[in-house]
Amino acid sequence: MRDLLAALGELRERLKEIPQADERRLQDLKTEILGRKAGTLTQILGALPRLDPASKKEVGASANALKREFETAFAARERALKHAAGVVTGLDLTMPGRAAWRAGLHLVTQVVDEICDIFRELGFTRAVGPEVENERYNFFALNFPRDHPALDAQDSFYVGPDLLLRTHTSPVQIRTLERYPPPIRVVIPGQVYRRDPFDASHSPVFQQIEGLAVDEGITFVDFKATLATFARRFFTADTRVRFRPSFFPFTEPSAEMDVQCQICGGVGCPTCKQTGWMEILGSGMVHPAVLDNCGVDSERFTGFAWGMGPERIAMSRHGIPDIRLLFENDVRFLSQFAGGAR
Ligand code: DAH
């Protein structure tokens, strides 16, 4: 009986091991002490019937009390381990996470916003206009001759005898000039439509950003400096630009602006067709006839205007070879340009 009490005393010491035990060690201890056949305490309890009544009472009381203490300690440790693993809440915190989908802005939307932001710093406000226009706004007030090919149903989407999907954002120049007296400085982003094939460099629907500045004393110098400043802010501070003479009915003189190819730096590559340059916009000094058509005194006011294609600009910046990539909405393509939510 003394031996049994001594054994119980030693066993009691083992209680201290439990709060530090990990899962594996806890199971081992449980088997060693409370195991159904060979457990140390189980065997002590099993020996009770062979003792005399007085010893049975003494040893039995301590052994049962110790058994309860072990059970409580094991249960507490098990709970603590489960809680640490999150199993209590049904979560397995060790499981690899699933990547969360994050919404983002389309590359072209990001480019439109970025361009408008640069012009906002230069004093331009954002304006919009309708996508369905009549011929006066889309063509005639912009000084197009009556026989211009763009008026042909072959080239433009007509939805009625004098109603068409706008072929450019320039009609919003007219709407702005009719509505607001100068000084005017606006940028006009929007969707436009043309009967073009859907191929690597054309889409029947695309975006434009129109710009218009009209005030007293605006010169060709303001025009060139504003657009060159834009190009250097949008691309890089040392980007070279050049203006080439061109023709548009609503500007005189007219020019196209090229920027140094962003892919090869100007030495020539397939993207710039070995020229080292990329055309990014059409522009010019507002034709006096346009001002007159809108009731703005062309003797007193002058201005400049431009129109650019954000898809083209996005393509030239990132070396995207096919405009259709911007319309197919393949997330693997778009997520390369994941932008912040608006
Ligand atoms: N509207 C022209 C186009 O779609 C682009 C353009 C050229 C706009 C010159 C302008 C400009 O405002 O001055 O091709």
Question: pTM of the prediction?
Answer: 0.73
Q: Per residue, what are the HEC states of 38-97?
A: CCHHHHHHHHHHHCCHHHHHHHHHHHHHHHHHHHHHHHHHHHHHHHHHCHHHCCCCCCCC
Q: Which of 187, 194, 306 to mutate to test the pocket of ligand 1 (most atoms within 8 A of CB)?
A: 306
74 lines ligand 1 (CB under 6 A): no
**To which residue do tokens 């000094």 refer?**
285
Domains observed in the chain: 2-84 (no CATH), 107-334 (3.30.930.10)
pLDDT for residue 340 is more than 70:
no
193 lines ligand 1 (CB under 6 A): no
Looking at the chain, the whole-number percentage of residues with pLDDT higher than 70 is 98
306 lines ligand 1 (CB under 6 A): yes
pLDDT for residue 75 is more than 70:
yes
pLDDT for residue 342 is more than 60:
no
From CA 197, how far away is CA 234, in angstroms rounded?
30
248 lines ligand 1 (CB under 6 A): yes
Q: What angle do CA 152, 165, 145 make, to 5 degrees?
A: 40
- Condensed to tens digits (0 to 9), the pLDDT of residues 293-305 reads 999 999 999 999 9
- The stretch 177-193 carries a mean pLDDT of 98
Q: How remote is the CA of residue 281 from the centroid of ligand 1, in Å? A: 8
Average the pLDDT over each of 72-86, 174-188, 189-203, 321-335 and give the range with the smallest value.
72-86
Q: How remote is the CA of residue 283 from the centroid of ligand 1, in Å? A: 6
287 lines ligand 1 (CB under 6 A): no
From CA 302, how far away is CA 217, in angstroms rounded?
6
Q: Which of 177, 248, 313 to mutate to test the pocket of ligand 1 (most atoms within 8 A of CB)?
A: 248
Q: What are phi and psi of 257, to 5 degrees?
A: -105, 130
Q: Whose CA is nearest to atom 10 of ligand 1?
A: 306
- Condensed to tens digits (0 to 9), the pLDDT of residues 20-54 reads 888 899 899 999 999 999 999 999 888 889 888 98
**Contacts of the segment 143-149: beta carbons below 8 A, 24+ positions apart:** 143/249, 143/250, 143/287, 143/289, 143/290, 143/293, 144/249, 144/250, 145/249, 148/249
Strongest mean pLDDT among 72-81, 151-160, 239-248: 239-248
- Condensed to tens digits (0 to 9), the pLDDT of residues 128-179 reads 999 999 999 999 999 999 999 888 888 999 999 999 999 999 999 999 999 9
Q: How remote is the CA of residue 161 from the centroid of ligand 1, in Å? A: 24
138 lines ligand 1 (CB under 6 A): no
pLDDT for residue 341 is more than 60:
no
Q: Which atom of ligand 1 is nearest to the CA of 169?
A: 1
Q: What pLDDT was estimated at residue 268?
A: 93
Q: What pLDDT was estimated at residue 88?
A: 58
- Condensed to tens digits (0 to 9), the pLDDT of residues 206-239 reads 999 999 999 999 999 999 999 999 999 999 999 9
Q: What pLDDT was estimated at residue 86?
A: 67
Q: Which atom of ligand 1 is nearest to the CA of 170?
A: 1
